[in-house]
Amino acid sequence: MDEELRAYLDSMTARMNDQHERLLNRLTGIERGFLNVKDFMVGDALVLARRSLDLEARVTKLEDGK
């Protein structure tokens, strides 16, 4: 392989590595955002479930006349 071809291939490899690194950085940011939203939604669902159970218990207590 001549030097010109080797230099070209080396530069193309470096460009591809840079592009892959940029892509991984973007994906990491997206993943972090997704995890934050997921944690928020799970927490919100837990609070809603507790409130629902509390409301159901109160209604049952009122229906039973206690």
Query: Cα(52)–Cα(66) distance, rounded to whole angstroms?
Result: 20
Q: Give this prediction's pTM.
A: 0.53
Buried b (16+ CB within 10 A) or exposed e, 8-22: eeeeeeeeeeeeeee
Report CA torsion sign: 21, 25, 26, 27. positive
8-52 per-position pLDDT tens digit: 999 999 999 999 999 999 999 999 999 999 999 999 999 999 999
Query: Cα(66)–Cα(9) distance, rounded to whole angstroms?
Result: 82
What is the pLDDT, as a whole number, of residue 57?
93
